[in-house]
């Protein structure tokens, strides 16, 4: 029977069970007692479901990863590279379908989702190559018969926990270096975006990667992470998410002194001086701030405009922000999708109300979008606030939403002190043409990453990560591979003639 709207509705009914599985020991596992339904944050429609895995499922996955470890570690780097490159090939081939899936479960515009997948494939390829360069060292001995070597060996089984904001990239930035290093992995994706994780694993399994090397468990964060934390065979946990959960993992990981990588939250400042290219600064700031509806760990939290250009920079930012189109991610020409859930939307609304009550001016936006196509989603109008001061919550909390607060400053020491006055230290941005100032700022800003005259940081060859309460460990670059390797020092004493 034909439904009345079938001919005009461009979106086919989703097959809710298309990605309804976990991956353990190379097999699809579907035998959970319960399932998690995933909803489109733009429409409220169900888009799929996955099994609600638990501690027992996670233990099976750790068994599989543990059994696969020796075999995977013994392959040559070139053999491991072949699987990784095939994975990247498949992601690139399926890019458009994967992008639609990601957009439906996470909300971001399809073009942005496709960009995330392209970046993810590049990441895999970079680590496939870097895995071939796991060199050791030879160190001169203290005696003629002594030989000293340093080897780099895979850490072992790694448990990985990832967030929903970049649901493909956050998995791949961990999985690619770990697999290249010779580790085996168990991944637990965010419960709001598990479908793309299952799809990526399907493509990885299609490469014929040996059973048990890569496992995926969807479901309860508490019980799955308990297994990661309590099973001594899991030698490392790599976590990306909130600082609050990261701290609790760190505390509990201390019991077995597990290695940790923690990629956590941040409060990123951007500092704009009067000598900067203001057109470039405004464009870069708006591009960074509203990417993924502001739900980016290194996304700009506060804009410090020098008082001499505050007015002009604000006007430019407001104008560019007003031009942004908000809507469901799968509609053409949409720049910004919805927030991930109602709680996130209400938090943004609270932050804006707090700023307004404390004297900020709302220059554009400042309200929830609720009419017509927005009625069933978590949409918030892109917002610019001016006259922002340090007492406002937007200056002290991670906003994680489409709100750009503009504060002003007069002096270099002052803006450095205000930028550093946060427990976080992930990313900072500076716009100026004064090279001496560039050095001073880069030296004194207490952040793991600083971008100058630009706002994009994430590339495969560079170490992405934070300091202070933004975490430890790096994703990207040879540093990202080191995070999955242990050093082993060999002291060899030779027999015979002076060794």
DSSP one-letter code for 467: S
Q: With binding defined as CB under 6 A, does residue 165 bind ligand NAP?
A: yes
Shortest separation between residue 163's beta carbon and ligand NAP, angstroms: 3
C-alpha distance from residue 152 to each of 100, 137, 488 (Å):
40, 9, 6
Based on its alpha-carbon atoms, the radius of gyration of the chain, rounded to whole angstroms, reads: 24
Shortest separation between residue 497's beta carbon and ligand NAP, angstroms: 55
Shortest separation between residue 494's beta carbon and ligand NAP, angstroms: 47
Q: With binding defined as CB under 6 A, does residue 426 bind ligand NAP?
A: yes
- Distance between alpha carbon 218 and the CA centroid of its chain, in Å? 18
Q: With binding defined as CB under 6 A, does residue 405 bind ligand NAP?
A: no
Residue 297 is a catalytic residue: yes
Q: With binding defined as CB under 6 A, does residue 263 bind ligand NAP?
A: yes
Q: With binding defined as CB under 6 A, does residue 292 bind ligand NAP?
A: no
Per annotation, catalytic residue among 297, 398, 469, 475: 297
Structure tokens at 372: 């017509």
CA distance 443 to 434: 14
8 Å CB contact between 22 and 218:
yes
- Sign of the dihedral defined by the CA atoms of residues 439, 444, 450, 454, in that order: negative
Shortest separation between residue 121's beta carbon and ligand NAP, angstroms: 19
Q: With binding defined as CB under 6 A, does residue 472 bind ligand NAP?
A: no
User: Is the Cβ of residue 281 or residue 344 nearer to ligand NAP in the bound state?
Assistant: 344
Q: With binding defined as CB under 6 A, does residue 116 bind ligand NAP?
A: no
- Residue showing the smallest CB distance to ligand NAP in the complex: 241
Structure tokens at 9: 């509705």
DSSP one-letter code for 374: G
CA distance 148 to 167: 43
Q: With binding defined as CB under 6 A, does residue 225 bind ligand NAP?
A: yes
User: Is the Cβ of residue 160 or residue 278 nearer to ligand NAP in the bound state?
Assistant: 160
Shortest separation between residue 328's beta carbon and ligand NAP, angstroms: 21
Virtual torsion, Cα 11, 12, 13, 18, nearest 10 deg: -110
Residue 442 is a catalytic residue: no
Query: String of b and e for 343-369 (b: at least 16 CB within 10 Å)?
Result: ebbebbbebbeebeeeebebbbbbebb
C-alpha distance from residue 6 to each of 100, 332, 340, 453 (Å):
20, 20, 28, 49
- Return the H-helix or E-strand segment holding 301: strand 300-306
Q: With binding defined as CB under 6 A, does residue 257 bind ligand NAP?
A: no
Q: With binding defined as CB under 6 A, does residue 190 bind ligand NAP?
A: yes
Among 66, 122, 153, 191, binds ligand NAP (CB under 6 A): 191
Contacts of 128 (CB under 8 A, 6+ apart): 80, 81, 84, 85, 88, 176, 180
Q: With binding defined as CB under 6 A, does residue 284 bind ligand NAP?
A: no
Q: With binding defined as CB under 6 A, does residue 53 bind ligand NAP?
A: no
Among 222, 257, 357, 435, binds ligand NAP (CB under 6 A): 222
**Binding window for ligand NAP (CB under 6 A); candidates: 136-144, 149-157, 158-166, 363-371:** 158-166
Q: With binding defined as CB under 6 A, does residue 57 bind ligand NAP?
A: no
471-472 and 259-263: which strand pairing? antiparallel
User: Is the Cβ of residue 227 or residue 320 nearer to ligand NAP in the bound state?
Assistant: 227
Structure tokens at 480: 């990202």
The values of phi and psi at residue 194, to 5°, are: -85, -15
User: Is the Cβ of residue 231 or residue 263 nearer to ligand NAP in the bound state?
Assistant: 263
**Binding window for ligand NAP (CB under 6 A); candidates: 189-197, 276-284, 363-371, 449-457:** 189-197
**Binding window for ligand NAP (CB under 6 A); candidates: 43-51, 185-193, 274-282, 300-308:** 185-193
Q: With binding defined as CB under 6 A, does residue 35 bind ligand NAP?
A: no
User: Is the Cβ of residue 87 or residue 464 nearer to ligand NAP in the bound state?
Assistant: 464
CA distance 206 to 88: 12
Active site residues: 263, 297
Residues within the interface to ligand NAP (CB under 6 A):
161-165, 170, 188, 190-192, 221-222, 225, 240-242, 245, 248-249, 263-266, 297, 398, 426, 466, 471
């Amino acid at each position: 029977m034909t439904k009345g709207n079938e001919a005009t509705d461009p979106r086919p009914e989703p097959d809710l069970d298309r990605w309804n599985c976990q991956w353990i020991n190379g097999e699809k596992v579907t035998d959970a007692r319960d399932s998690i339904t995933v909803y489109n944050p733009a429409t409220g429609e169900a888009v799929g479901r996955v099994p609600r895995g638990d501690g027992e499922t996670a233990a099976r996955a750790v068994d599989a990863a543990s059994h696969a470890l020796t075999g995977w570690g013994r392959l040559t780097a070139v053999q491991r590279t072949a699987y990784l490159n095939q994975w990247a090939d498949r992601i690139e081939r399926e890019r458009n379908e994967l992008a639609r899936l990601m957009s439906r479960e996470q909300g971001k515009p399809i073009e942005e989702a496709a960009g995330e997948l392209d970046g993810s494939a590049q990441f895999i390829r970079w680590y496939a190559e870097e895995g071939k360069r796991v060199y050791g060292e030879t160190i001169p001995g203290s005696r003629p018969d002594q030989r000293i070597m340093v080897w780099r060996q895979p850490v072992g089984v790694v448990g990985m926990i990832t967030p929903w904001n970049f649901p493909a990239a956050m998995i791949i930035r961990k999985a690619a270096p770990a697999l290249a290093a010779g580790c085996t992995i168990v991944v637990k994706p965010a419960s709001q975006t598990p479908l793309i994780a299952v799809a990526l694993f399907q493509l990885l399994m299609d490469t014929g990667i040996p059973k048990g090397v890569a496992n995926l468990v969807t479901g309860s964060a508490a019980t799955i992470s308990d297994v990661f934390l309590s099973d001594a065979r899991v030698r490392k946990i790599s976590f990306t998410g909130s600082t609050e959960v990261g701290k609790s993992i760190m505390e509990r990981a201390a019991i077995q002194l597990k290695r940790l990588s923690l990629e956590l939250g941040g409060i990123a400042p951007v500092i704009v001086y009067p000598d900067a290219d203001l057109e470039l600064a405004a464009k870069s700031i708006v591009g960074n701030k509203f990417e993924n509806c502001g739900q980016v760990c290194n996304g700009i939290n506060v804009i410090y405009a020098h008082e001499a250009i505050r007015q002009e920079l604000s006007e430019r930012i407001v104008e560019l922000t007003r031009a942004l189109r908000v809507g469901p991610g799968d509609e053409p020409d949409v720049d910004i999708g919805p927030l991930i859930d109602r709680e996130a939307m209400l938090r943004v609304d609270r932050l804006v109300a707090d700023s307004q009550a404390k004297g900020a001016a709302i220059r554009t936006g400042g309200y929830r979008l609720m009419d017509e196509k927005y009625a069933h989603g978590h949409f918030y109008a892109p917002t610019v606030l001016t006259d922002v001061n340090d007492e406002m919550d937007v200056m002290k909390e991670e906003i994680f939403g489409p709100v750009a607060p503009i504060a002003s400053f007069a002096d270099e020491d002052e803006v450095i002190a205000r930028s550093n006055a946060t427990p976080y230290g992930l990313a900072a941005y500076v716009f100026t043409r004064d090279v001496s100032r560039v050095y001073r700022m880069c030296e004194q800003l207490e952040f793991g990453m600083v971008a100058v005259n630009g706002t994009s940081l994430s590339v495969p060859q560079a170490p992405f990560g934070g300091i202070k309460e933004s975490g430890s460990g790096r994703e990207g670059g040879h540093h990202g591979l080191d995070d999955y390797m242990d050093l082993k020092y060999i002291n060899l004493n030779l027999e015979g003639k002076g060794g």
